[in-house]
């Protein structure tokens, strides 16, 4: 496996204290699926910008979610279900009814997925919507956005097994 250098990770990071903490990062943990990458979060008032850069995914769409816990003791399975503080059914990023952690799909082409998305459903600040310490999970299948016509669709989007995950933490 060749290791990719992620442009979101910068060298010579200063540990000087700053008064504004509006950034977070998730570095995908090493896994047996050879999927690696980084997801950066930048909070702008009530809007959260999510910038992702993922390598090693098969071509196509992959479910992309914020999960309830940042516990990686049992790989991605210990992250539990999607972050869902309002006890809603599963949906997509722009669905009226959805889990707060439902981010839809990312698309991989030539084993690379890069992009930007925005959401108001989660935050780095607001208590009940705060995602710090939670996790990002990338799944092996396309998320059907709750439109799959079965009970599992309303919980997971039938997105399949968990390929990669990482904990969301504060960033300089």
Looking at the domain assignment, is residue 70 inside a domain? yes
In-domain check, residue 33: yes
Judge whether 53 and 6 are in contact, CB under 8 Å: yes
Q: Is 67 a catalytic residue?
A: yes
Active site residue 62: no
**Residue ranges making up the domain that contains 67:** 23-170
Please say whether the beta carbons of 111 and 57 come within 8 A.
Answer: yes
Examine the residue annotation and report whether 86 is marked as an active-site residue of this protein.
Answer: no
Rounded mean pLDDT, 83-112: 93
Question: Which pTM value belongs to this model?
Answer: 0.87
Residue 5 has pLDDT above 70, yes or no: no
Q: What does each C-alpha distance from 141 to 23, 40, 58, 137 come to in angstroms?
A: 29, 22, 10, 12
Q: What is the domain count for the chain?
A: 1
Q: Kindly report the length of the chain.
A: 172
Active site residue 65: yes
Question: How many Å apart are CA 107 and CA 4, to the nearest integer?
Answer: 18
Bridge partners (DSSP) of residue 42 are 23, 49
82 is catalytic: yes
Distance CA 156, CA 83 (A): 11
- Residue 129's φ and ψ, nearest 5 degrees, are -110, 5
Judge whether 90 counts as a catalytic residue: yes
Per-residue pLDDT band at 32 (split at 50, 70, 90): confident
Q: Which of 139, 143, 144, 171 is catalytic?
A: 139
- CATH number of the structural domain spanning residue 156: 2.60.40.200
List pLDDT tens digits, range 102-154.
999 999 999 999 999 999 999 998 889 999 999 999 999 999 999 999 999 99
**With bands split at pLDDT 50, 70 and 90, how would you rate the model's confidence at 14?**
low
Active site residue 97: no
């Amino acid at each position: 496996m060749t290791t990719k250098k992620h442009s979101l990770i910068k060298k010579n990071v200063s540990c000087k204290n700053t008064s504004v903490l509006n950034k977070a990062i998730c570095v995908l943990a090493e896994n047996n699926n050879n999927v690696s990458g980084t997801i950066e979060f930048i909070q702008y008032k009530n809007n959260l910008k999510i910038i992702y850069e993922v390598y090693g995914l098969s071509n196509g769409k992959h479910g992309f979610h914020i999960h309830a816990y940042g516990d990686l003791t049992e790989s991605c399975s210990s992250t539990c279900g999607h972050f869902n503080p309002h006890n809603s059914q599963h949906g997509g990023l722009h669905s009226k009814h959805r889990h707060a952690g439902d981010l839809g799909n990312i698309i991989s082409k030539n084993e690379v997925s890069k992009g930007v998305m925005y959401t108001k459903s989660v935050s780095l600040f607001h208590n009940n919507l705060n995602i710090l310490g939670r996790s990002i999970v990338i799944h092996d299948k396309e998320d059907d956005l709750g439109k799959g016509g079965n009970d599992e669709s309303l919980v997971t989007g039938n997105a399949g097994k968990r390929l990669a995950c990482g904990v969301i933490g504060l960033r300089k």
